[in-house]
Chain A
Amino acid sequence: MITINGISKTYQVAKRSSGIGQAFKSLFHREYTDVEALNDISFTVKPGEIVGYIGPNGAGKSTTIKVMSGILVPDSGSCTIMGYTPWKDRVAYVRNIGVVFGQRSQLWWDVPVIDSFELLRDIYKVPEQEYKANLALLTETLELQDIIGMPVRQLSLGQRMRCEIAASLLHSPSILFLDEPTIGLDAASKIAVRRFIRTINEEKGVTVILTTHDMNDIEALAQRIILIGKGKLLYDGSIDAIRNQFGTRKTIIALYRQQEAPLKIAGAVLESWSPERAVLSVDTEQVLISEVLISISQQVELIDIIIDTPPIEDMIIQLYKEHQI
């Protein structure tokens, strides 16, 4: 579906130095530095996949999305999506994709949402029957009935985002690019958006590429993540693989009958301790959980025990650290 091979992209950024003299000088002569936004990125995406595209700010996520949606032409490398080269056959290609930029609206601000939808129908030349069917499905699954007649400026961010996503699916695209679709949304809206993305992926087989900083999005949606940092592809694989690699450190919280002597467990680090409660961290590659548990129960009279896996967020941070980004 998507084959990206060795894409590189360099931006020229004007050097700015401080001071009025320098500013004046830059009026006539500017020095540029090259910033490598993308450096030899390659990956493939199969039809029907949901891929989470992650990386810290400025890593090159948006640039990749722009290349894949045909906005930008890369300096080198090839990209074939559904048989098209996005930047060559722009008009023919973009008919097949939907793009949501989380921070920018594609709706007309002052008119009811439905008017925007109808204009999009005309822009994409969607046949009337198909439009009606899509609209009915989107209205129902995204619960737009009550807001479709309201002007966009009166909608809350969550309502607006639901409309944005609907707007990008009216022409039944095969691929949906979502650039930070949950940014700034409250918990309920986030969950609604995630559920919907899952639905269209499962029911209509839409391939989804999504960038986000919210790891819960990734956890809820993506079977696969691609990590990019400083323009380089750092990781491409399943979330489970990351879990296995970085999720080996468990936190054990033990509650017990009052006891003055601190716990001493071989292979575990005592993070905090009080006469009733101890927090230990254990690397399951070094020592078996069962041994730790036996050891604890020998030393104290246990009331309760909690074994916690670190959130995916922490694992990603470790991944960033490992690659020094």
Chain B
Amino acid sequence: MRLYWKYIVILFKSQMQYRTSFWLLTLGQFLVPFSVFAGLYFLFERFGQIQGWNFQEVALCFSIIHMAFAISECFARGFDSFSGMVVNGEFDRVLVRPRSTVLQVLGSKFEFTRVGRLAQSTLVLIWAISQLPIEWTMLKAITLFFMVISGFFIFAGIFMLAAAMCFWTIQGLEVANIFTDGGKEMAQYPLNIYQKWVTRFFTFIIPFGCVNYLPLLYILDKTTGNDLPYILAPAAGIVFIAPCMLVWRVGVRHYRSTGS
């Protein structure tokens, strides 16, 4: 963990060598999600509500997934841009250093400009919370926190899967974007507006539903019966990382037996 922090510091220093570019990109990252958010606004302007969800509630849903996405793009960027490491042989360097490959790849790159996106989604979160008549309890606050953390784990897991694919093929990585960008787009709305199979896919395969839709039902008091499964749903996101790690390890083994 201490080493991870050291990686952050050195890469932040590197980033600060290009200050103007940093600020412009951060500003861009701050502004881009507004267009998406504006789209959301006009949608609700026209229809009032969707499947029993009003604008503020969906805004909360939106902000959580965007926060998670921004954090993962910042801190798991190493996996997101991993194909470059294989192509230019940087990964060989990782293998001759006495630390875990996951830690080193995570530490290979951070995208600090994503704080722009994070700031935007935090603003939306604060606004949505201030607008919604939620009776806050400690448990609800903790659940909210874990929703974001768990979302981060899911995105990081998908990045990791995509990165592991690089060990077999350098091209064809756009497939992964279906699940990251696609997942982000899908999960910014409550899952019950979609077809059954979509809901199932994003609950049981890639558990985006578990990090915002299901626990949100609890936070917004839309549940019937026992709250516990809804509170614990975000754990699924953290569980999701386990098979991703496994695939990663298989990938590393494959790389070392074939070379490239």
Q: Does B257 contact A (CB under 8 A)?
A: yes
Query: Which A residues, 91 to 111, have Cβ-Cβ distances below 8 Å to chain B?
Result: 91-92, 94-95, 97, 99, 101, 104, 106, 108-111
Task: Say which size band chain B's interface belongs to.
Answer: 20 to 34
Q: Which of B3, B11, B93 touches A106 (beta carbons < 8 Å)?
A: B93
Which residue of B3, B97, B99, B104 has the most chain A CB atoms within 10 A of its CB atom?
B97
Select the stretch in A70-78, A277-285, A308-316 that faces chain B: A70-78
Q: Does B7 contact A (CB under 8 A)?
A: yes
Q: Does A66 contact B (CB under 8 A)?
A: yes
Query: Which B residues, 94 to 127, have Cβ-Cβ distances below 8 Å to chain A?
Result: 95-100, 104
In the complex, what residue of chain A is closest to B6 when comparing beta carbons?
A122
Contacts of A116 in B (CB 8 A): 10
Q: Which of B88, B97, B259 touches A94 (beta carbons < 8 Å)?
A: B97
Q: Mark A43-84, 1 if CB is under 8 A from B, else 0.
A: 000000000000000000001001001111100000000000
CA–CA, A12 to B168, complex, Å? 12
Assess the A104–B88 pair: CB atoms within 8 A: yes
Asked, given contacts A73-B257, A87-B256, A111-B13, whether A123 binds B96 with beta carbons under 8 Å apart, the answer is no
Assess the A66–B99 pair: CB atoms within 8 A: no
CA–CA, A18 to B229, complex, Å? 59
Interface of B is mostly: helix
Contacts of A92 in B (CB 8 A): 98
Q: Does B90 contact A (CB under 8 A)?
A: yes
Contacts of B10 in A (CB 8 A): 108, 111, 115-116, 119
Q: Which of B2, B7, B96 touches A70 (beta carbons < 8 Å)?
A: B96
Contacts of A87 in B (CB 8 A): 256
Which residue of B2, B6, B96, B98 has the most chain A CB atoms within 10 A of its CB atom?
B96
Q: Does B258 contact A (CB under 8 A)?
A: yes
Assess the A122–B2 pair: CB atoms within 8 A: yes
CA–CA, A151 to B256, complex, Å? 32
CA–CA, A63 to B13, complex, Å? 35
Task: Say which size band chain A's interface belongs to.
Answer: 20 to 34
CA–CA, A122 to B104, complex, Å? 12
Query: Which B residues, 1 to 19, have Cβ-Cβ distances below 8 Å to chain A?
Result: 2-3, 6-7, 10-11, 13-14, 17-18
Q: Which of B2, B3, B17, B99 touches A151 (beta carbons < 8 Å)?
A: B17
Q: Does B185 contact A (CB under 8 A)?
A: no
CA–CA, A247 to B148, complex, Å? 73
CA–CA, A110 to B22, complex, Å? 14
How many Å from the CB of A288 to the closest CB on chain B? Answer: 53
Assess the B92–A115 pair: CB atoms within 8 A: no
Q: Does A124 contact B (CB under 8 A)?
A: yes
Q: Mark B70-106, 1 if CB is under 8 A from A, else 0.
A: 0000000000000000001110110111111000100
Assess the B13–A99 pair: CB atoms within 8 A: no
Assess the B98–A99 pair: CB atoms within 8 A: no
In the complex, what residue of chain A is closest to B104 when comparing beta carbons?
A123
How many Å from the CB of A110 to the closest CB on chain B? Answer: 4
Q: Does A323 contact B (CB under 8 A)?
A: no
CA–CA, A284 to B99, complex, Å? 57
Contacts of A123 in B (CB 8 A): 3, 97-99, 104
Asked, given contacts A101-B92, A104-B89, A123-B3, whether A63 binds B98 with beta carbons under 8 Å apart, the answer is no
In the complex, what residue of chain B is closest to A98 when comparing beta carbons?
B96
In the complex, what residue of chain B is closest to A95 when comparing beta carbons?
B98
In the complex, what residue of chain B is closest to A91 when comparing beta carbons?
B98
How many Å from the CB of A292 to the closest CB on chain B? Answer: 53
Asked, given contacts A104-B90, A110-B13, whether A73 binds B96 with beta carbons under 8 Å apart, the answer is no
Which residue of B88, B104, B256 has the most chain A CB atoms within 10 A of its CB atom?
B256
CA–CA, A280 to B221, complex, Å? 101
Contacts of A70 in B (CB 8 A): 95-96
Q: Does A11 contact B (CB under 8 A)?
A: yes
How many Å from the CB of B164 to the closest CB on chain A? Answer: 17
Q: Does A90 contact B (CB under 8 A)?
A: yes
Contacts of A66 in B (CB 8 A): 92, 259
In the complex, what residue of chain B is closest to A97 when comparing beta carbons?
B96
CA–CA, A67 to B247, complex, Å? 23
In the complex, what residue of chain B is closest to A63 when comparing beta carbons?
B259
**Beyond A72-B257, A91-B99, A110-B13, 15 additional pairs, beta carbon < 8 A:** A11-B258, A11-B259, A66-B92, A71-B96, A91-B98, A94-B96, A104-B89, A104-B90, A104-B92, A118-B6, A119-B10, A122-B3, A123-B98, A125-B98, A151-B17
Residues of B at the A interface (CB closer than 8 Å) are 2-3, 6-7, 10-11, 13-14, 17-18, 88-90, 92-93, 95-100, 104, 256-259
Q: List 23 A-B contacts (CB under 8 A).
A: A63-B259, A66-B92, A69-B95, A70-B96, A71-B96, A71-B259, A72-B259, A73-B256, A91-B98, A91-B99, A91-B100, A101-B92, A104-B90, A104-B93, A109-B14, A110-B13, A110-B18, A111-B13, A118-B6, A119-B10, A122-B2, A123-B97, A124-B97
